[in-house]
Structure 1
Amino acid sequence: MRIGVDVGGTNTDAVIMEGSRVLASAKRPTTEDVAGGMVAAIRAVLDDSQVPVSDIHSVMVGTTQFINAFVERKHLSEVAIIRIALPLSEGIPPLVDWPDDLRAAIGEHIYMVGGGCYYTGAEYMPLDEEALVKAARDIRDKGLEAVAITSIFAPIRQDYEERAAAIIREYAPDVAITQSNQVGSLNLVERENAAVINASLMRLSRQVIDSYRKSLAALDINGRLYVTQNDGTLMSAEAAEQNPVMTCSAGPTNSMRGAGFLSGLKEAVVIDIGGTTTDVGFLHHGFPRETTDANDIGGVRTNFSMPDVLSIGLGGGSIVAGDAEVTVGPASVGYRILQEARIFGGSTLTATDIAVASGQADIGDASAVSTLPSELVENALSDMHSKIETALDRMKTSARAVPAVLVGGGHVLVSRSLKGVSELHRPEHASVANAIGAAIGQVGARIKRIVEYGDSGRDEVIRQVSEEVKRDVVEAGGIPETVKVVEIEEMQMTYLQANAVSLKIRAIGDLATGD
């Protein structure tokens, strides 16, 4: 038995599953303290299913709390930023393109240190340990709590960052350290940005994960706690405390994974309509298609793995405005829909009210919207469908019609066929697909590095890296016999003199359930 939970901006969803069977599901308003909504949703599925808490082996949670805090500039720690690259990269210092308010929030504690290697791993300068000792003492004297360490080509050689972390801990043993090789891939500045974001969130992550543990304790659940990552796989609660930035797209990812599971489709577009936004993304081999562009998080460019998702301001709580020219969203009543929507006794006309008035949803008090002009209802429906069709068109890579899966609590907003969609699926339990996506999470790992096939040959290099990434999955808790490579991506590095290739290999496996 396992429980999946997704903490959204409007609702907190929970499901309890046995194998591939959903035993119970629940949707409760997200509370300001988050823990309250989580406890209420889990208690509801336990009561509904009558499953003893002693049978719950694990709880998987998807959350966007950490990235929301960064975007809102709340609860951030000041960060000591150590870059190991001199004499290279001095012309583009850390934080050079960060918004002013973020620079002020995390401080400008920057330490440039000598040392580094080329993309081949060959050293061009040894690590300047004296400079690191000086930085460590300054970090200790300033009382800083978080450190982000970045070295040039760290995904190829991690030893520079590992040695730097060891030196920092000698002088400031209580600081939280993020190494860029653990959160980002190639490209120094974007990887450094990801490391700094992660470091700024580590204090908050410990507080949030601790609140999750207390929530489960309040329900007498002793099962293991996992947190979903951006790519749809799981990491332990302890790992999430160290790598909060890896959870920033867990919400859309969970919904897409849940949509694939419920529909049985491996290749499809997923339309996830929540209370505030609609997220549109593509499934590829059953997992979210990853973006190939640098990601903008709160105004900062990063390059860690994220799903390719387009979000628009349309959801069940979206406010309907206008008479002659009706528009729906992007303004929303959010988690207050149960108080403000007309069908629930409020005075605000929302997208959900339109769905009820048109007869495509049976929620709340339909008499409260029975007198709405039919022209207004039709124009609102047309605006909603038009917005979704435009989002679909922007995300598609060809004019060919594709299958689509509708999920999320707001899936009732769609009542007609959509342009560009060959077949529209609305599976059972669609409204809690995000929680199901969390519950079915697997363990995954990836390796991305620059290689030269050389005398070993392409097949042998790929085999060696594949075995390495499989071992990483097993170490993360995967069952060895279930681990398989699901993606191999090669890109010729034509701008380098040598015959270099950027190689990315990804593997997944089922989560081990033994004690």
Structure 2
Amino acid sequence: MRAVAIGTTRFVNALTEGRRLTKTAVLRLGLPAGASVPPLTSWPESLVTAMSGRGYQAHGGHEFDGRRIAELDPGELRAAAADMAAADVRSVAISSVFSSVDAEFEIRAAEIVAAELPDADISLSHEIGRIGLLERENATILNAALRERAEHVVNGLLEAVAGAGVTAPLYLSRNDGTLMDADHARRCPVAAFASGPANSMRGAAVLSGLDDCAVVDVGGTTTDIGVLQGGFPHEAAAGVRVAGVRTHLRMPDVLSLGIGGGSEVRGATPAPAIGPRSVGHLLTSRALVFGGDTLTATDVAVAAGRAEVGDPDRVRQLDRAFVDAALARIADEIAGGVRTMRTSAGPLPLVAVGGGTLLLPDRLEGAGTVHRPEHSAVANAVGAAVARVGGETDRVYTTGTAGRESVVDEAKQEAVARAVAAGADPPTVRIVDFDEVPLPYLPGNATRIRAKAVGDLRPPVISS
């Protein structure tokens, strides 16, 4: 066995539930600028309380072209770190204005804070987020709050794999459908927030043989709809909210509908209601076909003859007009979601995966024929198993005297280096996505460059 690849929702669930979060502080470098919007502004109060969040501001930061806003004050940073220590802070998020252009101050501040808080975890914003101070800072705070949780989860997975007698290295799925090694997952748990939908979409590409298509992943509680471009999930262009916090994390553009195999069906003909309440993992005990007392979408599908699960005799009494109306409602809502998620006016092939595909007809109105590839129920596992390792950079560069070719090469090399650091085999790494956007409203020939590199898993080291 070459590797073990696992997707997990443990990190995003911890934020959503507000449980097992590390006591966290954020240190922003940007004074005298940026003081009007302090760190943690507009955060849900419950989440700030759950991680005992504390905010600090200090001098530092850069302009977009690399000029310094103010010099670092080591004494100021030591005083902030001392206050953190007194408050028993165990994880620190450090953000600096335009650190995506120059990360010098974040790195220097981390060294000073680490000297004062040697046992604390430190997360740096230039390693996590994109351009946009607040969104990048927010993502870094979320990452810091999850560092101890990530250590616990990754160690638990390593123990489980070893306990099964498997000696292959462990990788975790990332938001973009690629992989990261265990060490990277410990440092950057926010990179795994959307690993579930990303895995399903990558699995759909492999099972169907289609690199460009719409994907409908029907689970027990929700249906996730996204688009594949070049075999990878189309990323959300705007900011993504995680647990009520605005970020610029690289996550698939996914529409989630409260419809799944376990969705409760209520009402009557001609307008039955489907979901969003669901029996979830209790389907095999709560659904009518399994001897339960709750009418679910799975019961309706069995009554219509679309599936052979449980005991069909338990749903024979359902009115056929009601069954047809319920299935039509499901089809209409999912078809509308597919039309909403299309990135162009032209039609896209539609691939259905997940255990709840039995809810879908063979064709969705306005969305086309539904393709159900073999083994579609385990597309998520397939996506994790075939994933490659990725790295990305997203920065503003000033060409200056260096010239365009020099900064483009620098951006590509940085993306490749990040892929290798995450566990990619260097000879196999290639640039798979590249965007270059000139910023004419900024002086200095400023250009925003985004480069994504992907490579095969690094071969395991075999000890003699």
Q: TM-score, normalised by structure 1?
A: 0.87
Alignment partners' CA distance in 2, 1:479 and 1:235: 12
Distance 2:401 2:93 in 1: 37
User: What's the counterpart of residue 209 of structure 2?
Assistant: 264
Post-superposition CA distance 1:157-199 (Å, at most 9, x none): 1221111111111111111111111110110011111011111
Q: How far apart in 1 are the matches of 2:91 and 2:427?
A: 39
Task: Verify the 8 A CA contact 2:2 2:460 in the aligned structure 1.
Answer: no
Contact 1:402–1:420, Cα closer than 8 Å, also in 2:
no
> Would the aligned equivalents of 1:140 and 1:172 in 2 still touch at CA under 8 Å?
yes
Partner of 1:212: 157
2:244 paired residue among 286, 296, 299? 299
SS in structure 2 of the partner of residue 384 of structure 1: helix
In the other structure, the counterpart of 2:322 is: 376
Larger strand proportion, structure 1 or 2?
1
Inter-CA distance 306–396: structure 2 relative to 1 (3 Å threshold): same
SS of 1:63's equivalent in the other structure is coil
Cα deviation for residue 445 of structure 1 reads 0.6
Helix, strand or coil at the partner of 2:361:
coil
Partner of 1:500: 446
- Other-structure match for 1:5: none
Aligned match of 1:47: none
Give secondary structure in 1 for the equivalent of 2:69. strand
Corresponding residue of 2:392: 446
Query: CA separation in 2, counterparts of 1:420 and 1:445?
Result: 36
Contact 1:447-1:504 at 8 Å conserved across structures: yes
* SS of aligned partner of 1:104: helix
How far apart, CA to CA, are the structure 1 residues paired with 2:410 and 2:117? 38
Aligned pairs (5 A) from 1:362-441 = 362-441=308-387
Partner of 1:60: 5
Deviation at 1:433, TM superposition (A): 0.3
1:319 and 2:264 correspond: yes
Match of residue 234 from structure 2: 289
Which one is further off, 242-251 or 416-425? 416-425
Closer, same or farther: CA 236–463 of 1 in aligned 2, 3 Å: same
Deviations along 1:443-479, one digit per CA (max 9) or x if unpaired, are 1111111123344443443233223322332333222
Equivalence for 1:355? 301
Please tell me whether the aligned partners of residues 402 and 423 of structure 1 are also in contact (alpha carbons under 8 angstroms): no
Partner of 1:254: 199
Measured in 2, the distance between the counterparts of 1:124 and 1:168 equals 21
Amino acid at match of 1:134: A
* Farther off after superposition, 288-297 or 212-221: 212-221
- Are 2:184 and 1:230 aligned? no
Tell me how far apart the structure 2 counterparts of residues 477 and 197 of structure 1 sit (CA, whole Å).
23
Counterpart AA for 1:344: F
Q: Is the 8 A contact 2:399 2:444 kept in 1?
A: no
Distance 1:260 1:427 in 2: 10
Q: Give 5+ residue unaligned stretches, structure 2.
A: none
Shift of 1:124: 2.8
Asked if 1:511 corresponds to 2:463, the answer is no
Query: 1:67: how far off?
Result: 0.6
Q: Distance in 1 between matches of 2:414 and 2:125?
A: 20
Q: CA deviation at 1:212?
A: 1.4
More deviation in 373-382 or 457-466? 457-466
- Alignment partner of 2:58 out of 96, 113, 119: 113
Unmatched tracts of structure 1, length 5 or more: 1-55
DSSP-derived class of the 1:157 partner: coil
2:454 aligned partner, one-letter code: I
Match of 1:273 among 218, 241, 263: 218
The correspondence for 1:461, drawn from 407, 426, 429, is 407
1-structure distance, mates of 2:49, 2:458:
44
Superposition RMSD in Å? 1.5
1:75, 1:108 → 2: CA distance?
13
Partner of 2:412, secondary structure, is: helix
Give the distance between the partners of 1:467 and 1:101, measured in 2 at CA. 41
Kept in 2, the 8 Å contact 1:80–1:146? The answer is: yes
Structure 2 counterpart SS, 1:259: helix
| Inter-partner Cα distance in structure 2 for 1:454 and 1:135 | 37
Counterpart code for 1:266: D
Q: Distance in 1 between matches of 2:427 and 2:278?
A: 47
Q: Distance in 1 between matches of 2:421 and 2:40?
A: 34
Tell me the secondary structure at the aligned position of residue 413 of structure 2.
helix
User: One-letter code of the match for 2:380?
Assistant: N
User: Hey, what's the Cα distance between the residues in 2 that align with 1:181 and 1:110?
Assistant: 18
Task: Write the distance in 1 (CA, Å) between the matches of 2:40 and 2:264.
Answer: 38
Q: What is the alpha-carbon distance in structure 2 between the residues aligned to residue 463 and residue 422 of structure 1?
A: 42
Decide which moves more: 502-511 or 453-462. Answer: 453-462
Separation of aligned partners in 1, 2:253 and 2:215: 11
Aligned to 1:402, what secondary structure does the other structure show?
coil
| Distance in structure 2 (CA, Å) of the matches to 1:288 and 1:151 | 30
Asked if 1:345 is matched to 2:279, the reply is no
d(CA) in 1 for partners of 2:26, 2:210: 44
Identity %: 41
Selected match of 2:166 from 198, 214, 221: 221
Q: Which amino acid aligns with 1:441?
A: A
Q: Give, in whole Å, the separation in 2 of the partners of 1:128 and 1:360.
A: 68
The 1-side partners of 2:208 and 2:362 are apart by 19
Alignment of 1:28-177 (within 5 A): 56-177=1-122
Report SS of the residue matched to 1:69. Answer: helix
Q: Secondary structure at the residue paired with 2:111?
A: helix
Offset from partner CA, 1:457-508 (integer Å, 9 cap, x none):
4344323322332233233322233211111112232432343111101110
The number of equivalent residue pairs is 460
Shift of 1:108: 4.1
Work out whether residues 184 and 422 of structure 2, in 8 Å CA contact, stay in contact via their aligned partners in 1: no
CA drift of 1:233 comes to 1.0
Aligned match of 1:24? none
CA contact (8 A) 2:23 2:88 kept: no
For 2:150, the aligned partner's letter is S
Say whether 1:203 aligns with 2:154.
no
